[in-house]
Amino acid sequence: MSEFFATLYNQPFLSNVSNEFNFANNNISDENDFVNEMFKYSDDRKIEENNKFNYIIIKNNSIKRAKDVIFLFHGLNERIWDKYLPWALNLNKQTGKAVILFPIAFHMNRAPLSWSNPRLMKKMSDIRIKKFNGIQNSTFANAALSTRLHSNPSRFFTSGFQTFSDVTKLIEEIRNGENKYIYDDCSIDFFGYSIGALLAEVLLMSNPNKFFEKSKLFMFCGGPTFDIMFPVAKAILDSEAYNSMSIFFKVFDDYLNNGKIERTSLPEIKYFKSLLSQYGLRNIREERLLELKDRIFAVSLIKDKVVPPESVINTLNGSNKKIPIRTMITDFPYSYSHEIPFPADKEQREIVNINFNNIFELASNYLN
């Protein structure tokens, strides 16, 4: 990374697992012994990889501690940081701000290695294809996440809430002067991609401890309510998992009531609920988005089938298109997808790099 004059630091983090919602039975029960062995944990809170892990700080070599920070949140079902390192390095280079790559719970390095083993997950996918007639887009790449969310769709919420709590805890540590690479009074902004954009929206909208009074959010291929996202894809989720999640979100209030924990009035839960459905808590969502109108910028791609541009606009600009949040739709002159917006194609490297630089120039100018 010498050309960027930046250094990458792996920082240890201990999740506050006691702060996680854990209402439902997390045990996967399946007649197949292989599936049971792969997901043998009776309680997600016992998965050590998710509780003790490293996050990444990228910081300029010229400064001892950073005065400004950008949190970069990744997409759903991501396992390695390789895709995002160029994104973070570019943001760091253009803004001069430190970039924190923070993993969502049970993603990246917060999951057992077996969940990303191609041979084992191919076997898992084969079992799902045989068991569920008509299943779509079941692959080794999404078998682990699909199996876990299909069995217990509440994990989408509990893992998101755990990540929310972890990010809040990290910022508390920074504010207390406990991070040797970041000043305690640093500014904080967000870059959210795909489902990471939803996480950033909940953080910004709920504003825990008033940490984000002046924070800005740039969203790339993200921003809509979950019901108008379409994550059934070979690299994300299979159809059975998505259907299970859709049913769960319709009874989300019942789930909260059964939790026996009086947290249903927390702002983060209220705003999370408002981002599940374009019709649910719409007034609350749109009222808050109007307050944040000058602090959000979303860029979507014409050929994005997972997060279509119209879904982003319908959410961020409101039902009557009266919320003046800046939204932009663009396209690339090469074959791309939501999952791979910047393909590593040697024959198209130049044009891909040009469009990559254009997107991150937009992001950097906005977050600067």
Q: Is the pLDDT of residue 341 over 50?
A: yes
Q: What's the whole-number mean pLDDT along residues 290-318?
A: 98
262 vs 331, residue with greater confidence: 331
pLDDT at 43: 78
Q: State the residue for tokens 């291929």.
A: 221
Question: Which range (10-19, 204-213, 272-281, 356-365) has the least confidence?
Answer: 10-19
Using a 10 angstrom Cβ sphere, with 0-12 exposed, 13-18 middle and 19 or more buried, the burial of residue 265 is exposed
Q: Where are the alpha helices (DSSP H) in the chain?
A: 33-38, 48-51, 85-95, 118-131, 143-151, 155-175, 195-206, 239-250, 252-258, 267-274, 282-291, 309-316, 349-367
**Cβ contact 99:91 at 8 Å:** yes
Q: What's the whole-number mean pLDDT along residues 298-310?
A: 98
pLDDT at 339: 98
Q: How far apart are CA 80 and CA 103, in angstroms?
A: 10
Q: What is the pLDDT of residues 209-267, one digit of tens each?
A: 999 999 999 999 999 999 999 999 999 999 999 999 999 988 887 777 665 445 555 88
Residue 46: pLDDT band with limits 50, 70, 90: confident
Measuring CA to CA, how many Å separate 265 from each of 165, 269, 271?
A: 16, 7, 10
- Rounded to the nearest integer, the mean pLDDT of the chain is 91
Q: What is the pLDDT of residues 198-213, one digit of tens each?
A: 999 999 999 999 999 9
Q: State the residue for tokens 């860029």.
A: 299
Q: Is the pLDDT of residue 301 over 90?
A: yes
Domain architecture of the chain: domains with CATH: 2-367 (3.40.50.1820)
Q: What is the pLDDT of residues 146-195, one digit of tens each?
A: 999 999 999 999 999 999 999 999 999 999 999 999 999 999 999 999 99
Q: What's the whole-number mean pLDDT along residues 311-340?
A: 97
Q: Is the pLDDT of residue 30 over 80?
A: no
- Give which of 35, 109, 40 is closest to 74, Cα–Cα: 109
Angle (CA) 366 367 368, round 5°: 95
